[in-house]
């Protein structure tokens, strides 16, 4: 039962298309795609050269719910219908892990631009009965026929769009396997039951909302290349459906039903698998039936760090998120932050980001393929060495910390946080990578495929389509998982805990870092999600910040220290947070005001 809706803030903004390819443009559509009204494909929209006029306004709302003490089941997700799907499953006797299946599956239907059966992600789990923490790695895998240079032409240059649009851009999905695994190993209810809300939503439809409509508009040209994707998301004449139009996905409902009836086999084998492979190959992709049949979720030990007595549990490789957040916190742990004025505090956080992102770029990849110095990167001694190069009064140019350039990855993803009444919890960040993924939907499946192959270094050492550069550790190889920034995390202290995560490509890491610091400073869940963000990722050597993240005085002081500051024309992220205060029993669930999600407490 929903107890109280506390905040419903409305922010309306007219947003203009950006005039050049930039990080801001990449992220802008991650959150507010409606601002990009052009019929652009992924690349030109990322470049965001002015095209069609932007719609007048895009509304962003926040809904935060605070529970009375004693009630502590909560869900925060990026769309109300998905939170409600989780609520339904909790009410039917499911636990947090069953609710994670219901929420993820509902998001696949109602937020198809961000995640789905055709994608993958990471589920961070905590089982209350024995305090067990684990991470389900449901990241997409490169097909067995993938090769290091598969997106390069004969001259060794990246082939336009090849790693972002169409079936060649798609890795073997992991999300359906995660549903089956969650239900069998951790859930209380059969998969069949937890998938019901999503099947109903897919069959009966849901009304088109502004952010999704903006995304459809933005990706229209790519969707038109796939007859089934066009049928699912466009009008019969190829136009964008009007707001409120019922989006029904009967084929997706059938695929979900096959999964419900047969478990993972219903997706990875049999008729669905045959249709997926036939469609992918007809569109120029390289999947085989064997790739699908061989897909497995891998259970991995999460990374655990400590910061001033708080325990940080976060995603391990092939996500770079946990290691980068813990590395940054280790660096900061040697500073008495409250002692400093606000500009110096932000300077120190920025310097910790610079160093953590550098390490991310150099060392990380799929742990099954590369050896990584994880113990070193997460160690306090290593952090002490990094800290010793930080001056409290001066920025250090990234060029003095040589390494490999890192840049934001991806454009759209989704996160949810769940706590059940028994104290089990899930932080899930799931994705199909760019907005609407590859844009390709194999006929008869209703499954929109990811373009997560673009998270690999398409050409190690050379920028790819989106300006990304990576190391050999993240080069393409058959059956390998690409490096991710997704950082589902738990922050635990003596007084309580926070479940946190967000979409936002490489910005995810700095968001989770700021969220952690803010929670530890005593901020409420609502304040954590709305906090104006700043970000430094080693290269480009600049601090990007949202309006309101820095005061005029801080801007002057940071510039005087040598930082290059860049006000972003956009906001980024769509953070979903649950907090639980042990003493009072108060649980708070907050959804980022930059999106239209909802936090519910029962």
Collapse the DSSP code of 350 into the 3-class scheme (helix H, G, I; strand E, B; otherwise coil) and give the result: helix
Q: Which residues pair with 202 in a beta bridge?
A: none
Please enumerate in sequence order all residues whose Cβ is within 8 A of that of 161, keeping only pairs 6 or more positions apart, or say none. Answer: 41, 42, 43, 465
Shortest CA distance to 425 belongs to which of 313, 286, 285, 502?
Answer: 313
Closest approach of ligand DON to the CB of residue 409, in Å: 4
Contact by Cβ (8 Å): 148, 477: yes
Q: Is 445 a catalytic residue?
A: no
Choice between 209 and 436, CB closer to ligand DON: 436
Distance separating alpha carbons of residues 373 and 381, to the nearest angstrom:
13
Structure tokens at 89: 């499953």
Distance separating alpha carbons of residues 107 and 113, to the nearest angstrom:
9
Distance separating alpha carbons of residues 267 and 293, to the nearest angstrom:
9
Closest approach of ligand DON to the CB of residue 502, in Å: 8
Choice between 116 and 263, CB closer to ligand DON: 116
Distance separating alpha carbons of residues 463 and 361, to the nearest angstrom:
13
Closest approach of ligand DON to the CB of residue 485, in Å: 4
Choice between 352 and 413, CB closer to ligand DON: 413
Choice between 118 and 503, CB closer to ligand DON: 503
Q: Which residues pair with 462 in a beta bridge?
A: 459
DSSP string across 445-491? T--PPP-GGGGSBSBTTB--TTS----GGGB--TTPBPPB----EEE
What are residue 601's phi and psi, to 5 degrees?
Answer: -125, 140
Q: How far apart are the first and last CA of the chain?
A: 5
Instruction: Give the Cβ contact number of residue 105 at 10 Å.
Output: 32
* Residue in this structure with the two tokens 């290059």, named with its chain if needed: 564
- Contact residues toward ligand DON (CB under 6 A) are 30, 409-413, 431, 433, 452, 455, 484-486, 503-505, 508
Count Cα atoms within 13 angstroms, Cβ side, for 327: 29
- Helix, strand, coil percentages in the chain from 3-state DSSP, rounded to 5: 35, 20, 45
Closest approach of ligand DON to the CB of residue 129, in Å: 31
Closest approach of ligand DON to the CB of residue 148, in Å: 19
Residue with the shortest CB distance to ligand DON: 410
Choice between 94 and 173, CB closer to ligand DON: 173
* Residue in this structure with the two tokens 């299946």, named with its chain if needed: 101
Instruction: Give the Cβ contact number of residue 185 at 10 Å.
Output: 13
DSSP string across 27-88? HHHHH-GGG--S---HHHHHHT-S-SPPPS-EEEEEEEEEPPTT---EEEESSHHHHHHHHH
Distance separating alpha carbons of residues 568 and 544, to the nearest angstrom:
6
Choice between 29 and 558, CB closer to ligand DON: 29
Radius of gyration of the chain (CA): 22
Distance separating alpha carbons of residues 336 and 333, to the nearest angstrom:
7
Collapse the DSSP code of 299 into the 3-class scheme (helix H, G, I; strand E, B; otherwise coil) and give the result: strand
My answer on whether omega of the bond before 576 falls inside 30° of 0, hence cis, is no
Closest approach of ligand DON to the CB of residue 259, in Å: 23
Please enumerate in sequence order all residues whose Cβ is within 8 A of that of 393, keeping only pairs 6 or more positions apart, or say none. Answer: 344, 561
Q: Which of 64, 65, 255, 413 is catalytic?
A: 413
Collapse the DSSP code of 126 into the 3-class scheme (helix H, G, I; strand E, B; otherwise coil) and give the result: strand
Closest approach of ligand DON to the CB of residue 32, in Å: 11
Choice between 173 and 187, CB closer to ligand DON: 173
**Cα-Cα-Cα-Cα dihedral sign, residues 372, 376, 380, 382:** negative
Choice between 189 and 486, CB closer to ligand DON: 486
Closest approach of ligand DON to the CB of residue 113, in Å: 10
Choice between 254 and 412, CB closer to ligand DON: 412
Choice between 30 and 202, CB closer to ligand DON: 30
Closest approach of ligand DON to the CB of residue 431, in Å: 5
Please enumerate in sequence order all residues whose Cβ is within 8 A of that of 12, keeping only pairs 6 or more positions apart, or say none. Answer: 57, 58, 59, 60
Choice between 188 and 530, CB closer to ligand DON: 530
Catalytic residues: 413
């Amino acid at each position: 039962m929903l107890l109280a809706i506390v905040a419903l803030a409305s922010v309306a903004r007219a947003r203009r298309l950006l005039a050049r390819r930039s990080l801001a443009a990449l992220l802008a559509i991650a959150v507010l795609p409606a601002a990009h009204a052009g019929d652009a494909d992924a690349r030109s929209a990322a470049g965001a050269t002015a095209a069609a006029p932007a719609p007048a306004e895009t509304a962003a709302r926040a809904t935060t719910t605070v529970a009375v003490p004693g009630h502590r089941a909560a869900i925060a997700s990026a769309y109300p219908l998905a939170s409600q799907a989780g609520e339904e499953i909790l009410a039917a006797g499911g636990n947090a892990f069953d609710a994670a299946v219901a929420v993820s599956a509902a998001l696949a239907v109602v937020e198809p631009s961000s995640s789905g059966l055709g994608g993958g992600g990471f589920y961070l789990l905590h089982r209350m009965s024995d305090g067990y923490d684990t991470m389900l790695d449901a990241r997409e895998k490169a097909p067995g026929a993938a090769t290091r240079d598969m997106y390069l032409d004969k001259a060794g240059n990246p082939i336009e769009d090849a790693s972002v649009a169409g079936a060649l851009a798609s890795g073997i999905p992991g999300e359906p396997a995660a549903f089956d695994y969650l239900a069998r190993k951790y859930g209380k209810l059969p998969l069949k039951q937890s998938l019901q809300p999503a099947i109903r939503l897919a069959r009966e439809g849901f009304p088109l909302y502004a952010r999704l409509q903006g995304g459809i508009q933005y990706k229209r040209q790519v969707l038109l290349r796939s007859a089934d994707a066009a049928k699912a998301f466009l009008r019969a004449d190829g136009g964008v459906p009007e707001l409120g139009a019922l989006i029904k996905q009967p084929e997706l409902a059938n695929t979900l039903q096959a999964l419900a009836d047969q478990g993972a086999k219903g997706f990875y084998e049999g008729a669905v698998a045959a249709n997926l492979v036939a469609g992918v190959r007809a569109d120029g992709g390289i999947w085989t039936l064997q790739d699908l049949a061989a897909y497995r979720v891998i259970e991995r030990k999460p990374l655990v760090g400590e910061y001033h007595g708080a325990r940080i549990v976060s995603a391990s490789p092939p996500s770079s998120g946990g290691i980068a957040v813990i590395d940054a916190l280790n660096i900061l742990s040697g500073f008495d932050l409250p002692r400093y004025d606000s500009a110096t505090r932000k300077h120190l956080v920025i310097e910790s980001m610079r160093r953590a992102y550098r390490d991310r770029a150099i060392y990380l990849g799929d742990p099954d393929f590369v050896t990584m110095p994880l113990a070193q990167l997460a160690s306090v001694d290593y952090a002490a060495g990094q800290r010793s190069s930080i001056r409290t009064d001066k920025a250090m140019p990234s060029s003095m910390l040589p390494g490999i350039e890192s840049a934001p990855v991806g454009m759209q993803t989704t996160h949810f946080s769940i706590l059940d009444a028994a104290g089990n919890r899930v932080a899930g960040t799931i994705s199909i990578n760019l907005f609407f993924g590859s844009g390709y939907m194999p006929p008869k499946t209703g499954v929109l495929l990811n373009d997560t192959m673009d998270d690999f270094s398409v050409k190690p050492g050379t920028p790819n389509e989106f300006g990304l550069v990576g190391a050999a550790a993240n080069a393409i190889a058959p059956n390998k998982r690409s490096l991710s920034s997704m950082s589902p995390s738990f922050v635990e202290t003596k007084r309580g805990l926070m479940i946190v995560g967000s979409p936002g490509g490489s910005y995810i890491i700095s968001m989770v870092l700021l969220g952690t610091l803010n929670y530890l400073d005593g901020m409420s869940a609502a304040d954590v999600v709305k906090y104006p963000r700043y970000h430094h990722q080693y290269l480009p050597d600049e601090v990007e910040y949202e309006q309101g993240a820095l005061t005029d005085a801080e801007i002057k002081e940071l510039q005087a220290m040598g930082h290059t500051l860049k006000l972003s024309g956009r906001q980024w992220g769509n953070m979903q947070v649950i907090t639980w205060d042990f003493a009072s029993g108060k649980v708070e669930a907050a959804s980022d005001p930059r999106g239209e999600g909802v936090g519910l407490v029962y």
